[in-house]
Amino acid sequence: MAQKASKLVIVTEKVLLKKVAKIIEDAGATGYTVVPAGGKGSRGVRSSGQPTVSDAFSNVKFEVLTPNRDMAVKISDEVAAQFFDDYSGIAYICDVMEVLHAHTF
Amino acid sequence: MAQKASKLVIVTEKVLLKKVAKIIEDAGATGYTVVPAGGKGSRGVRSSGQPTVSDAFSNVKFEVLTPNRDMAVKISDEVAAQFFDDYSGIAYICDVMEVLHAHTF
Amino acid sequence: MAQKASKLVIVTEKVLLKKVAKIIEDAGATGYTVVPAGGKGSRGVRSSGQPTVSDAFSNVKFEVLTPNRDMAVKISDEVAAQFFDDYSGIAYICDVMEVLHAHTF
């Protein structure tokens, strides 16, 4: 049952939620997880100022399990090309991963 | 102080929060983290429809640091056996991990 | 474009949000992500009791991409020294990571 996979993580602004989700789906990924997020990047503080309890989570973090690195890179390249000139964002891969149980693989 | 560990990640429906927490505790794990989550899997869109700002986070993501892979697999097997026929869910392991500081290890 | 990095994860109490953010910034990290979190550690249940839908997320999880392990350890040591005697917390590193796109690196 165990399978190797790559985990692609994308953190970006919440306004891009649906557009990034569409890119992930169009790339053929069978599922993803979205988590509310705040933070700070080199474009200055992400979300509204120093993170606070009430308004810190105006970003989103996507996690996508992909069957191989190529799909992860394809999604990341597309998201970066479309949005990262104008919006805050970061994309990275965790390589070591073992999928134990899933409906989504 | 540094210790190796496995990180088990389980994403499933929020209604299972307490039941999954109990399985984790019964397996002997000394702690876990829970994060609100939304997303999409092969059973169709998780949570209520295309993720939106207001209703996207009807899932939960558990992260459990376990001292070895066996405990992670045991928890994952139990959660999948009890719930993954009827509920959306995915479970996976990140193998490479170094615990620096914790009350929980 | 791909770069290796370490990912430092710190889960602790929400009251420490600004103080931990300052330690991360002072260490020279160019960005971080914050996610609401609940959970349970060896000091007893983190947040207010058994996690529930309404009050589970009184912790925060920081994720910091650092260019090397040394910066991650420095941040972790500082946070643990200042706070982990009095507050719940855990800090760990994911070693295998590839940064694809970012404003923050």
Q: What would the pLDDT profile of B15-74 be if each residue is shown by its tens digit?
A: 999 999 999 999 999 889 999 999 887 555 554 444 444 345 789 999 999 988 899 999
Mean predicted confidence (pLDDT) in C74-100: 88
Instruction: Answer yes or no: pTM beyond 0.90.
Output: no
Whether residues C90 and B102 touch (CB distance < 8 A) is answered with yes
* ipTM for the whole complex: 0.79
pLDDT category at C37 given cuts 50, 70, 90 is very high
CA distance B49 to B55: 9
pLDDT for residue A45 is more than 60 = no
CB pairs under 8 A between A and C: 95
For B35, the closest of C37, C94, C95 (CB atoms) is: C37
Mean predicted confidence (pLDDT) in A8-31: 94
Q: Residue C88 corresponds to which tokens in the numbers above?
A: 């719940």
Query: CA-nearest residue of chain C to B105?
Result: C42
CA distance B43 to A103: 7
For A51, the closest of C30, C34, C99 (CB atoms) is: C34
- The set of residues, in sequence order, having a beta carbon less than 8 Å from that of C53 and lying 6+ positions away, is B14, B17
Whether residues B31 and C53 touch (CB distance < 8 A) is answered with no
- The set of residues, in sequence order, having a beta carbon less than 8 Å from that of C52 and lying 6+ positions away, is B17, B18
**Range with lowest mean pLDDT among A17-21, B31-35, B52-56, C88-92:** B52-56
Q: Which own/partner contact pairs does A20-28 have at CB distance under 8 Å and 24+ positions apart? A: A20/A60, A20/A62, A20/A79, A20/A83, A21/A62, A21/B40, A21/B50, A21/B51, A23/A75, A23/A78, A23/A79, A23/A82, A24/A62, A24/A64, A24/A75, A25/B40, A27/A71, A27/A74, A27/A75, A27/A78, A28/A71
CA distance C42 to B31: 6
Q: What is the pLDDT of residue C19?
A: 97
- The set of residues, in sequence order, having a beta carbon less than 8 Å from that of C18 and lying 6+ positions away, is A50, A51, A52
Q: What is the pLDDT of residue B99?
A: 82
* Three-class SS state of C58: coil
Classify residue C55 by its DSSP letter.
T
In sequence order, what are the beta bridge partners of B8?
A: B64, B93
Mean predicted confidence (pLDDT) in A44-57: 48
Mean predicted confidence (pLDDT) in A34-60: 65
Mean predicted confidence (pLDDT) in C57-65: 91
Q: Tens digit of pLDDT for each residue in B65-99? A: 998 889 999 999 999 999 999 998 999 988 656 78
* Contact indicator for C70, C19 with CB cutoff of 8 Å: no
Residue among C9, B75, B73, C25 nearest A94 (CA): C9
- Name the percent of chain A lying above pLDDT 90: 51
Query: CA-nearest residue of chain C to A96?
Result: C96
pLDDT category at A51 given cuts 50, 70, 90 is very low
Instruction: Compute CA distances A102 → A18, A35, B11, C62, whole Å.
Output: 23, 19, 9, 26
